[in-house]
Amino acid sequence: MRKLILIIALLLISTLYPQPEGSAVSSQGSSDNIANTLVRRDANGDFVAGSIIIEDSLGIGLPDPISQLHIESDGVGAQITVTGKTDDTADAAILLSAKGATNVQGVKLWYDRNTAYGYIDNLYNNNAGNIYIRTKTAGTPIIALTILGTGNVGIGTASPSSIFHIKASIPGLVGSHQAGQLIIQNPADDVNANAAITAYESDGSGDPDQQLWYLGSHSGSNENIALLNRRNANIHFGTNDITRFSILAGGGIDILTNNITGSGLWQAGIIPFSKGGTGFSNWTEFLIPYASSITSIGQIAIGASGQVLTSGGAGVAPSFQNVAAGGYSRHIELQVGSAVVGGTAPSPTTVGTFRGLGFSADNEVANFIFDVPTDWDGVSDMVAHVHWYPTSGDAVANGETVKWDITYRSIAEGEAVDNGSSVTTSGTLTGGVSETDKELYYTEIIIDYDHADQPLTFEDCVGIQFDRDVAGDSYSGAGIVTMLHIEYNSIALPEG
């Protein structure tokens, strides 16, 4: 307290009795341990830099300072105020530095009057010039915030390895759910309030320009969440460093199909057909992902139009098969009892439990009708199977031939039944060395699905005129027909 009174007295003396320029007023300390104090003024009586020098502690508002400058107040207003002296544009600052290094080292807290910005500067021009904000320094210090000389910012870490690095335990329950290290919150008390994270590219000035992606609330009117790639590019999801699921820029979706080079397994409006790869202009291939094991996922089975997918069993790739080469087929049965015979009818004949129509002359005709089924694949021929056996006691000899003819028209609803030129197609059996009496035969006759005169079309009514070409074969007995059945490739799933 005595020191403070002395300083005030010296100030009053220097004001009332100004000293010549460069002179000084000083007070020598005595046995009461008052430190040396020096006050300087210029020729006009104004204080000059370093005009008050105190080589001990200074207390303001208290008699026993515990540091070189100790201020005690009642807490009303600021305890220390620093302002610029010359005019309203002068900056105000506080510098903490090492002696002799005030321009190159230290921490400076200052206010830029021109911009109204406040700054905390580390003057050390080196990547080691970090800034740390700590808590609990009276015990074990905790670094709460780090700003490295490189510009990296860390929360809970003294050595952030990226531009923003958080190191902390999860906080546990926040509200009604487990929370993470980062919480993004809208201040509004509304579940529809927007909260989002966004990424931008920078413009020439380094400011945000075009948005790259968006993760957050879909809108302010619902609780939906959106992950958006704002660019014309894909979004990928993966595990174990492998992409498992992709949303393509064009809207397609790839699932476990890393080797697809086209537009995806599922294409909007064309599920699940896909462009099969580079160079394919039409959606003609059918792509199926499968897992051969838990650790081998993403292989593809590829099938062409009209093929049927066949399982290979557990852990084995499925495969596509051509129906005509052993795939799924169906039959239309044409019983002879439903035939409409011609003017010269074939003879009804019974052998054992089999009853049929015996054909032994060229003019003997039976007529059948069937509809082209809607499950036919539309791209393959139909096959008429003639079920027949020879006359009892007259087996087909080695080299003898029996020739069957089908003449047909395929007529759509609304067309004349005799429209266009009819088509005739045949099938011939040639006897071998071991033919037996009353042996049952199947003779195939191909019905051309895309014949220029009578192409087959779904739900067409096909009128068949069936006969034996006796003049064109060499068997002398009657051929007894028990049934015709029409075999076709089906796109429907098999039953059972």
Tens digit of each residue's pLDDT, the chain (496 residues): 444 445 554 444 444 444 444 444 433 333 233 444 555 666 776 666 655 667 678 888 888 888 888 888 887 778 888 887 776 778 888 888 888 887 788 899 988 888 889 999 999 999 989 999 999 989 999 999 999 999 999 999 999 999 999 998 888 888 888 888 888 888 888 888 888 899 999 998 989 999 999 998 888 788 899 999 999 999 998 888 888 788 888 877 776 554 443 444 443 333 343 334 433 334 334 444 444 443 433 444 556 655 666 776 665 666 766 654 444 789 999 999 889 987 888 999 988 899 999 999 988 999 999 999 988 988 899 999 999 999 999 999 999 999 999 999 999 999 999 999 999 999 999 999 999 999 999 999 999 999 999 999 999 999 999 999 999 999 999 999 999 999 998 877 555 4
CB 304 within 8 A of CB 273: no
Centroid of chain to Cα 202:
26
The number of residues in the chain equals 496
Q: Given this model, what pLDDT does residue 493 score?
A: 59
Please tell me whether residue 477 adopts helix, strand or coil conformation.
Answer: coil
Give 453's contacts (C-beta < 8 A, 6+ positions apart): 420, 421, 422, 423
What residues does 251 pair with on adjacent strands? none
Q: What is the largest CA-CA distance in the chain?
A: 160
- Single out the residue of 357, 376, 399 nearest to residue 483, CA to CA: 357
Per-residue pLDDT at 45 = 65
Nearest to 400 by CA among 372, 422, 430, 443: 430
d(CA 281, CA 167): 52
Q: Could you give the domains of the chain?
A: 1-80 (no CATH), 131-169 (no CATH), 196-229 (no CATH), 235-325 (no CATH), 329-489 (2.60.120.260)
> Quick one: tokens of 96?
């903490």
In whole angstroms, how far apart are CA 126 and each of 93, 99, 359, 482?
Answer: 22, 19, 109, 103
Neighbours of 398 (CB within 10 A): 11
Beta-carbon count within 10 A of 447 CB: 21
Residue 234, classified by CB atoms within 10 Å of its CB into exposed (0-12), middle (13-18) or buried (19+), is middle
Could you tell me which residues are beta bridge partners of residue 197? 215
> Could you tell me if 368 and 454 are in contact, meaning their C-beta atoms sit under 8 angstroms apart?
no
**Strands (DSSP E) along 270-359, which ranges?**
273-274, 285-293, 296-303, 307-310, 319-322, 329-335, 340-341, 347-351, 354-359
> Measuring CA to CA, which residue among 128, 125, 120 is closest to residue 96?
120
Dist CA 214 CA 205 (whole Å): 22
Q: Are 337 and 356 spatial neighbours (Cβ–Cβ below 8 Å)?
A: no
Put simply, whether the predicted model's pTM sits higher than 0.85 gets the answer: no
